[in-house]
Amino acid sequence: MTSTLASALTPAPRFPPRARPLRCRSCGADRAAAPVAICGQCLGPLDPVYDPARALPDRATIAARAPSLWRYREWLPFEGDIVHSLDTGFTPLLETPRLARRLGVARAWVKNDTVSHPSLSFKDRVVAAALNAAAAFGLETVGCASTGNLANAVAAHAARAGLEAWIFVPHELETGKVVATSVYRPHLVRVRGTYDDVNRLCAQVADRFGWGIVNVNLRSYYGEGSKTQAFEIAEQLGWRLPTAVVAPMAGGSLVTKLHKGFGEFREAGLVAGEHPRLYGAQAEGCAPIVRLVERGDDRIVPEIPKTIALSIAIGNPADGVYAARAIRTTGGWAQAVTDAELVAGIRVLAEDAGVFAETAGGVTIAAALALARGGRLRPEDEVVLCITGHGLKTIEAVSGVLPEGPTIAPKLREVAALVEASGAR
């Protein structure tokens, strides 16, 4: 082996990135970068602060970069080299003409995070950001309070990064979500209670042990990962904006950050035109953000979740107020759907687009159909549907309602009988 080749194969040493400083979204107080959950002055949420004078890339520069969410690194809260989860992001945007026809809109696309790398949900985006924040702060143990997908993502990303992971979930969770977490051998702890109980416990855990709980004391950095879904949609549409986006809501972070992401790309001059109308979707059995949008006031009324859409069953959503504001200021709306409607939504998406989504995806499709029936989606609309997690994680939702298919002897005449009975020839 020549010395040139040897040096090409030896990775350059990587130093952890530096995290951007923080500012309170509520009172504007500034503070240094740190693993902290809330503002010390007013308990408001903290956001990373970017240097307004930093150099921003143009379309061609971004397009020439590797197909991961780090191609938008100037809008992510780190400086220096990224050390973890380098290959997450840039999932497909699929045009779905049959779904467009069913919705009665001009065009429709699925933003397909069911195939997100490595854990098959959009939570890979936020965990990619959070683990680099953990690296910036020198934290060797990470964790989360999760409704399932975040557990999968933290366990997978931490395994690859060589970090210890402590994962807390409500005791009632789909088998797929539990198995797709425990296979990575994190410390998986089931808590008797709802997600909101788990979340409260994790706030205490973060304080007591000084770990990086991705959606608690690393939340400011974590949330920024969600913006990359907006960036990708704009780029994949050919540097254009859709007129409407429908997305599921749990804590309300994704919708809040879609608003921020589209806004940042408009501000940077990378896309022109109006901000897409944002539509948020929840299950009837846990719809505190939908109810807030409907009431039009500014306070979440917490709910006790009762739905099969467990991944988005958060009764007291941390970013609910901000999601509702994003929805209102863009001229969108929020829609709740029943469990039966979400199951039908999963089937529609599979049959029309060839995409198998988990329950949250069914909520998005069912909500889009309801919004179209109610006249909120219009014939001239170009709609993006955010499909955030894979159907194999929640097979319980549909396995009981699908036709099983006949079992036959390996005989051609038995097939012929089936073909005849089916009416085909």
Residue numbers at the binding site for ligand PLP (CB under 6 A): 121, 123, 149, 248-254, 311-312, 358, 360, 388-389
Residue placing its CB nearer to ligand PLP in the complex, 249 or 353: 249
**How far is residue 180's CA from residue 198's CA, in Å, rounded to a whole number?**
19
By the rule CB under 5 A, 30 interacts with Zn ion: no
> Smallest distance, Å, CB 335 to ligand PLP?
15
The one of Zn ion, ligand PLP, none whose footprint includes residue 41, by CB under 5 to 8 A per kind, is Zn ion
> Smallest distance, Å, CB 37 to Zn ion?
12
Bridge partners, residue 386, by sequence: 111
> Smallest distance, Å, CB 333 to ligand PLP?
16
Amino acid at position 369, single letter = L
Return the closest-CA partner of residue 212 out of 132, 279, 156, 274: 132
> Smallest distance, Å, CB 59 to ligand PLP?
27
The one of ligand PLP, Zn ion, none whose footprint includes residue 27, by CB under 5 to 8 A per kind, is Zn ion
Residue placing its CB nearer to Zn ion in the complex, 27 or 301: 27
**Choices 25-33, 117-125, 355-363, 387-395 (CB under 5 A): range interacting with Zn ion:** 25-33
By the rule CB under 5 A, 193 interacts with Zn ion: no
Residue reference for tokens 């909120």: 376
Residue placing its CB nearer to ligand PLP in the complex, 241 or 360: 360
Residue placing its CB nearer to ligand PLP in the complex, 214 or 270: 214
Supply the DSSP symbol for 121: B
Q: SS3 sequence, 266-302?
A: HHCCCCCCCCCEEEEEEECCECHHHHHHHHCCCCCCC
**How far is residue 97's CA from residue 271's CA, in Å, rounded to a whole number?**
24
Listed in order, strand segments (DSSP E) in 183-264 are 187-191, 212-213, 244-248
> Smallest distance, Å, CB 354 to ligand PLP?
19
By the rule CB under 5 A, 103 interacts with Zn ion: no
Residue placing its CB nearer to ligand PLP in the complex, 190 or 378: 190
**The one among 21, 36, 44, 263 contacting Zn ion by CB under 5 A:** 44
Return the closest-CA partner of residue 381 out of 244, 230, 266: 244
Residue 369: CB partners within 8 Å, gap ≥ 6? 102, 103, 341, 345, 348
Q: How many residues bind Zn ion (CB under 5 A)?
A: 8
> Smallest distance, Å, CB 42 to Zn ion?
3
Side by side, the strands of the sheet bearing 333-337 are: 93-95, 107-112, 382-387, 244-248, 277-283, 333-337
Sites of contact with Zn ion (CB under 5 A): 24, 26-27, 29, 39, 41-42, 44
